[in-house]
Amino acid sequence: MDQRELIQAYERGFAARLASRVLTKPRLNAWMIFIPFIFIFYFQDFSKWKKQRKAFIDNWMLSRKRMLNETLHALDEDRKPDIGGLCEVADLPEKAQKHYSRLLRILAGHYTVLLKAGADDYPGLVRSAYQGKKGDYLFFINQLLDAEKALNNSLAPQLKKTNPDVGQTISKIETQADQIRRQEIEDFF
């Protein structure tokens, strides 16, 4: 795989791991065997969970795919990524625009160093891109987490109008993303 495919596969895998920690998967219990009609409810819940998981991953990937593609085109054309254009496409509230722009700038910088590096797998790509410096990668992760939190905080008030539990969900996403990334740092380095 080339760098773009490695990055995209990693991002999709990260989103899947995060979804597994955030969304509650329905459990099949042994007693359901004795009451067969309960299976109907289980399969309905399982189908709903699968749809939620897919939607979560697709939504997580949307900005990352766009930024990765824009970064790749910018490198090919020897220019800076058009972050403003991507912000316009996102159609976010004005309060969230600057936070989204910051997130995209951080991703663009990360994707740029990854696309310029060489390796056969994603951990190797990260080590190559950050020249084996765990602290430099940790700095990126901290910036990314801060940018994601700032964007979430700017979007939360509007989301709470339609879903009062959104604050808990956002908090869970942030906590789990942080835990996954901290573990990956140890795994990568």
Number of domains in the chain: 1
Question: Could you tell me the end-to-end alpha-carbon distance of the chain, in angstroms, rounded to an integer?
Answer: 21
Instruction: Determine how many CB atoms are found less than 10 A away from the CB of residue 186.
Output: 8
- Kindly give, in sequence order, each residue whose CB lies less than 8 Å from that of residue 83, ignoring residues fewer than 6 positions away: 70, 101, 104, 105, 108
Residue-wise pLDDT for 148-187, tens only, equals 999 999 999 888 777 878 889 999 999 999 999 999 999 9
What does pLDDT average to over the chain?
92
User: For residue 176, what are the domain limits?
Assistant: 3-188
Residue 31 has pLDDT above 70, yes or no: no
Residue 33 has pLDDT above 70, yes or no: no
pTM, 2 dp = 0.89
Residue 98 has pLDDT above 70, yes or no: yes
33: left (phi over 0), alpha (psi -120 to 50) or beta: alpha
Q: Give the model's confidence band at 128: pLDDT under 50 very low, under 70 low, under 90 confident, else very high.
A: very high
Residue-wise pLDDT for 38-67, tens only, equals 777 888 888 999 999 999 999 999 999 999
pLDDT of residue 32: 66
Instruction: Determine how many CB atoms are found less than 10 A away from the CB of residue 60.
Output: 19
pLDDT of residue 158: 82
pLDDT of residue 41: 80
Alpha carbon dihedral 175, 156, 57, 29, in 10-degree steps, equals 70
pLDDT of residue 116: 96
